[in-house]
Amino acid sequence: MEGEKYAEELDVAVRVVHMACSLCQRLQQGIVSAGSDLVKSKEDDSPVTVADWSVQATVSWILSEFFGSQNVSIIAEEDVQTLSKADSASLLEAVVNTVNECLAGATKYGLKSPPKALNTSQVLEAISRCNSVGGPKGRHWVLDPVDGTLGFVRGDQYAVALALIEDGKVVVGVLGCPNYPMKKELLSYHYQYHETMSRLSPPSDDMWERGCVMYAKRGSGEAWMQPPIPGDKKFVWPNSARLVRVSSIDDPKLATCCEPVEKANSDHSFTAGLAHSVGLRNQPLRVYSMVKYAAIARGDAELFMKFARTGYKEKIWDHAAGVVIVEEAGGVVTDAGGRPLDFSKGPYLEGLDRGIVVCSGATLHEKIIDAVYASWDSSNL
């Protein structure tokens, strides 16, 4: 990879996402069993956990140490407002301990560990450092530390998403999906079902049984997938990476469509009507988080449509990493008017035309966009 543009940035991003996924895997089981002690509600009533803050602090520290804090601009979802409240003292302590435990093992991933444990102020500073607003010029890292937090706390699907934007364009994307089953059919089940079945009938030694990190670099025409790092192994590039490619299915009758699980920010009724009008017959695959992008990039699904309810604004950290991975795997991502998503306007996808359409190929994409125009005037949006 040496000598290639963005090679160093991609290498560091892949390593730190592997590291973050390992952190999340350790925490998810405890959160599912311990419940509310490790989960808080933000002002918009959405959940935030020890994992969200811990991943953000860890990624922020690693990027700042590697590239220099003066040179790193990070746009991320979480702030320290909730974490700094008096009634969050135990939560803050858990975050500090988790971050230090994670960073202590950074050398396993070929990354630098701090010379001594970070104190509370340093951890809060690392989280707060992710306060960039982005824009059309310069380099900006975009992080969603735990995309699909609701899925995470329910023991289901979630993702760790890290992307690099340069001059308004996404140039690197890394997507960690710790619970993504390698069998497409198991995506339809709650993840804990898969865990139970795995215990009853132990899986083979195949490392691809569960979890993956996917990544792509703009202009390469390639998207890659790696297995998780076994507990007793060190990360050695390229860590059994293999190419992924979108599905070749372009007939809507044979296509599988991904949808968000939650209805709060997505209009399922319009999506269902649109699916019917274009001839989709398969049941939609409802999955938390950017795992939907991973499913399309890997060929497990052909379509993802999201039409937000009035007043909801799409955030760039919910899409940046997934977009470049799908596109480099051969897919197409636009708004519902057929225009590329604009990542140059800051934390939000400003100017978005109605919704987002992600397809495995140009033929299917054209059919969906045509159907959107035909159906939109009769919708209740």
DSSP for 298-345, written as a single string: TTS-SEEEE-PPTT---BGGGTHHHHHHHHHTT-EEEETTSPPP--SS
C-alpha closest to that of 275 among 293, 258, 261: 258
The CA–CA distances, whole Å, from 309 to 45, 144, 271 equal: 17, 21, 12
Task: Decide if 79 is catalytic.
Answer: no
Fold of the 252-376 domain? D-Maltodextrin-Binding Protein; domain 2 (3.40.190)
Give the residue ranges of DSSP H helices in 45-88: 50-67
Active-site residue, selected from the candidate residues 58, 82, 149, 256: 149
Residue 166 assigned as binding residue: no
| Distance in angstroms between the alpha carbons of the first and the last residue of the chain | 47
| pLDDT for 191 | 45
| pLDDT for 381 | 43
Query: Is there a contact between 348 and 316 (Cβ–Cβ < 8 Å)?
Result: yes
| pLDDT for 47 | 80
Residue 144 assigned as binding residue: yes
Residue limits of CATH 3.40.190.80 in the chain: 252-376
* pLDDT tens digits, 307-328: 887 788 999 999 999 999 999 9
Active-site residue, selected from the candidate residues 11, 52, 156, 267: 52
pLDDT of 90 strictly over 80: yes
C-alpha closest to that of 291 among 259, 264, 316: 259
| pLDDT for 285 | 84
* pLDDT tens digits, 95-133: 999 999 999 999 999 999 999 999 999 999 999 999 999
* pLDDT tens digits, 179-200: 998 676 766 655 444 445 445 5
Q: What pTM does this model have?
A: 0.92
What are φ and ψ of residue 260, in 5° steps? -65, 150
Residue 77 assigned as binding residue: yes
Cα separation, 147 vs 14, whole angstroms: 16
Task: Decide if 300 is catalytic.
Answer: no
Fold of the 7-244 domain? Fructose-1,6-Bisphosphatase; Chain A, domain 1 (3.30.540)
Residue limits of CATH 3.30.540.10 in the chain: 7-244
Residue 318 assigned as binding residue: yes
